[in-house]
Amino acid sequence: MNITLANRMNSFQPSIFSELALYKKQKLAEGVPIIDLSIGSPDLPPPSFITQTLSHEVLKQDQYGYTMTGTKSFHDAVSAFYQKQHQVELNADQEVTIVMGSQDGLVHFPMVFANPGDLILVPDPGYTAYTAGIAMAGAQAYFMPLKKENRFLPDLSAIPEQIAKQAKLMILNFPGNPVPALASREYFAEVVAFANKYNILVLHDFAYSELYFEGNKPVSFLSVAGAKDVGVEISSFSKNYNLAGSRIGYVAGHKKIIHAFNQLKSNLDYGVFLPIQMAAIQALEMGEEFCKSNRKVYEERRDLLVNGLKDIGWEVTKPDAGMFLWAEIPKGWTSLNFTYALIDKANIVVIPGHAFGPNGEGYVRIALVQDVEILKKAIASIKAANILS
């Protein structure tokens, strides 16, 4: 049989993530003791009150039907959470919807609002799901460089007016992945003004909203005046509550955007498993203390790794939020070559910055997904590899 692929599959070639996963597997098969700091998947369990809720709910015989949409109680919990944490009023019925994790929403969102050939503004470097969704919609990405001199915030004034006039959607992400930058309230006000001027929808990816350090609480885009008139915010339970495999999240904001997105989603899936919705409600209602303790774990890892790398000659910026270090690599290396040197000489896997966009070159992303004792071993291994000079 002659099997031919759709043209859109040209946008989904094997990625560096797959390449590194295969190389890691090969090394493990050879008996190499790999320390994996590549994928941003929490290594810690969710809190017991969440797992107990799941255990209780899955035993109920009436929990196995299609949910179709988010339950009223889930929507109400998201609305109450936003009121308490961000002083944002949301109509639970019209301004909130459920997704199967934020990636589900991010990939499908451009299909609702962009036609083939339309421009979508995305951060560069940025999370890979953004360009995947753009490719699915047949749209075109316009990369907004994230540069150190601009505190890794897109410079809106650098976007050519002709590009801004053509753009249908802008995707932002603070705290970011791979760059764990934070946006100020003033910056978001500029975004709102820009969106209004050029009639651009805004999608703010807020997946790391609860992972911040030293009181640097991230600003919700929806809490800025006028934001709800131009866009929505998407968030997840994967990183904030260590529920990565449970696949649940939400989109909140402009009711017409939510309505249109629901129109697509109603044709794609039959909703999120009820026990997972119940567990997510518990996370929103009872998770504040857990989030505080979780932040302390990540903060300890951040401090140990940043300080330890500095001691051996690798200056890495200490992030205010998120679960990654965005580490500038030593001169004379490409991101890819440095990544493979770390694997071959130090037995450590990270992600080369260029995997997230052209402006990621010169950096690697390091995930804080191992405990401090393993991180100490990683530092010692990098020192012994002698690749920093």
Q: What is the CATH number of the domain that holds 235?
A: 3.40.640.10
Q: How far is the C-alpha of 232 from the C-alpha of 183, rounded, in Å? A: 16
Q: Looking at the structure, do residues 112 and 35 belong to the same domain, yes or no?
A: no
The answer on 252 and 370 residing in a single domain is no
Kindly state the tokens that stand for 359: 């402006």
Asked whether residue 371 falls in the same domain as residue 282, the answer is: no
Q: Classify 232 in phi/psi space as left (phi over 0), alpha (psi -120 to 50) or beta.
A: beta
Last residue of a domain, one of 287, 307, 340: 287
Q: Which of 234, 262, 287 is the last residue of a domain?
A: 287
* Helical axes 288-311 vs 274-286, angle rounded to 10°: 80
Two tokens, residue 65:
């039907």
- Residue at 2 is within a domain: no
| Whether the Cβ atoms of residue 152 and residue 146 lie closer than 8 Å to each other | yes
**Alpha carbon distances (Å) from 205 to 104, 106, 151, 250, 301:** 12, 8, 18, 11, 24
- Residue 29 domain-assigned? yes
Q: Which amino acid is at 273?
A: F
Residue 304 CB-half CA count within 13 A: 19
Tell which residue, 16, 39, 148, has the closest CA to residue 366: 39
Q: Please state, in angstroms and rounded to a whole number, the distance separating the CA atoms of residues 140 and 128.
A: 14
Pairing of the two strands 249-253 and 96-99: antiparallel
What is the distance of C-alpha 292 from the center of its chain? 20
Q: Do residues 279 and 303 share a domain?
A: no
Written as six digits, the tokens of 370 are 């191992």
Instruction: Give the number of domains in the chain.
Output: 2
How many other CB atoms are there within 10 angstroms of residue 14's CB atom? 8
Q: Parallel, antiparallel, or unpaired for β 231-236 and 249-253?
A: antiparallel
Residue 244 lies in a domain: yes
pLDDT in tens, the chain (389 residues): 999 999 889 888 778 888 999 999 999 999 999 999 999 999 999 999 999 999 999 999 999 999 999 999 999 999 999 999 999 999 999 999 999 999 999 999 999 999 999 999 999 999 999 999 999 999 999 999 999 999 999 999 999 999 999 999 999 999 999 999 999 999 999 999 999 999 999 999 999 999 999 999 999 999 999 999 999 999 999 999 999 999 999 999 999 999 999 999 999 999 999 999 999 999 999 999 999 999 999 999 999 999 999 999 999 999 999 999 999 999 999 999 999 999 999 999 999 999 999 999 999 999 999 999 999 999 999 999 999 97
pLDDT of 389 reads 74
Partners of residue 167 on adjacent β-strands:
119
Structural Rg of the chain based on CA atoms:
21
d(CA 355, CA 334): 12
DSSP conformation letters of 243-271: -GGG--EEEEE-HHHHHHHHHHHTTT---
Peptide bond into 125 cis (omega under 30): yes
Please report, for the domain that includes residue 330, its CATH number: 3.90.1150.10
Return the pLDDT at 16. Answer: 85
Residues 167 and 267 in one domain: yes
Q: What confidence score (pLDDT) does residue 10 get?
A: 87
Residue 212 phi, psi (nearest 5): -145, 165
Stated pTM of the model: 0.97
At 302 the three-state DSSP class reads: helix
Q: Which domain holds residue 301?
A: 7-45+289-385
CB contact burial 212-239 (16+ within 10 A = b; e otherwise):
bbeeeebbbbbbbeebbebbbbbbbbbb
Question: In this structure, are 121 and 236 located in the same domain?
Answer: yes
- Tell me the residue length of the chain: 389
- The Cα-based distances of 299 to 13, 55, 224, 290 in angstroms read 36, 30, 27, 14
**Same domain (yes/no): 166, 305:** no
User: Distance between alpha carbon 212 and the CA centroid of its chain, in Å?
Assistant: 14
- Residues 389 and 374: their CA atoms lie apart, in Å, by 23
